[in-house]
């Protein structure tokens, strides 16, 4: 079993929809949680960075972390065709330095 | 502010050869990490450097090595290339020391081994 599980999709939604992306994890030492967006043939771009449990909002994006359930989510409101990309969750622990453990990524397509 | 710069962007090698990839972090960033991305395994951690010292290493064979220079620039080397080394190699940097702050990635170096 992988430390971080993420549904690979693909997920196809109409423009304007609310998108929900999720990851589950098994390592209770994880304390830092990130979401990256990766366009085809590009490097990952950091979208959200959160520490421990709780919510964080940035524009159309909301990240939620539930450490008790070992479950993190990314919500995208008013989705746009430009949001079409692969979304990667990543996490690390206090002692793991910059060693991020990534999910496999969810491919999202937003239809005009 | 310029982002993380990786060179070369694309390269083709044959089995048994070696390759050196270069990474220039964001100005002022002192931590550099390397990751390998493949369709089958996703993103996997290779190593992490801070102040010219390797702080952490992933589960890769000794053919994979790296170093960091005093100006924070970093290189990674893969010797005796195998077909399975074909991947996108990503460098990331951040301002703080290990375990703190946000990690920013470059565009990657896409290696094809024939």
Distance of residue A106 Cα from the nearest chain B Cα, in angstroms: 11
Average pLDDT of B44-67?
94
Token pair recorded at residue A67? 């450490």
**Chain B closest-CA separation from residue A105 CA (Å):** 8
Which residues in chain A are closer than 8 Å to B45, comparing Cβ atoms? 98-101
- The tokens for A22 are 């999720």
Per-residue pLDDT, B97: 66
Considering CB atoms only, which of B56, B99, B102 is closest to A46? Answer: B102
Mean pLDDT of the region B11-17:
97
Pairing label, strands A101-102, A45-51: unpaired
pLDDT level of residue A93 (50, 70, 90 thresholds): confident
Interior angle at CA A19, CA A17 and CA A40, nearest 5: 105
Peptide bond into A10 cis (omega under 30): yes
Residue B44 has pLDDT above 70, yes or no: yes
pLDDT confidence tier of residue B95, bands split at 50, 70 and 90: confident
Q: B66 pairs with which residues across the strands?
A: B76
The per-residue pLDDT of chain B, averaged, comes to 93
- Which of A4, A33, A98, A100 is the best residue to mutate to test the B interface, defined by the most B CB atoms within 10 Å of its own CB? A98
C-beta of residue B94 within 8 angstroms of C-beta of residue A34: no
Cβ–Cβ below 8 Å for B43 and A98 = no
Q: Which residue of B has its CA nearest to A5?
A: B42
* Cα B86-B54-A29 angle, rounded to 5 deg: 85
């Amino acid at each position: 079993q992988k430390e971080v599980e993420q549904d690979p999709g693909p997920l196809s939604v109409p423009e304007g929809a609310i998108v929900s992306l999720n990851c589950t994890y098994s390592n209770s030492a994880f304390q830092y949680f990130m979401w990256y967006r990766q366009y085809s043939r590009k490097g990952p771009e950091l979208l959200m960075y959160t520490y421990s449990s709780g919510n964080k909002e940035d524009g159309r994006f909301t990240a939620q972390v539930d450490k008790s359930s070992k479950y993190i989510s990314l919500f995208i409101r008013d989705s746009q065709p430009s949001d079409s990309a692969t979304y990667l969750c990543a996490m690390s622990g206090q002692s793991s330095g910059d060693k991020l453990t990534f999910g496999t990524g969810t491919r999202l397509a937003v239809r005009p | 502010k310029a982002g993380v710069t990786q060179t070369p962007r694309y390269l083709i090698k044959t089995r048994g050869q070696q390759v050196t990839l270069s990474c220039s972090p964001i100005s002022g960033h002192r931590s550099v990490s390397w990751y390998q991305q493949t369709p089958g395994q996703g993103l996997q951690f290779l190593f992490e450097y801070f102040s010219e010292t390797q702080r952490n290493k992933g589960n890769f064979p000794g053919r994979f090595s790296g170093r960091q220079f005093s100006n924070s620039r970093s290189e990674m080397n893969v010797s005796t290339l195998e077909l399975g080394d074909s991947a996108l190699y990503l460098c990331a940097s951040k301002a703080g020391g290990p375990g703190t702050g946000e990690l920013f990635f470059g565009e990657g170096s896409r290696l094809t081994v024939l």
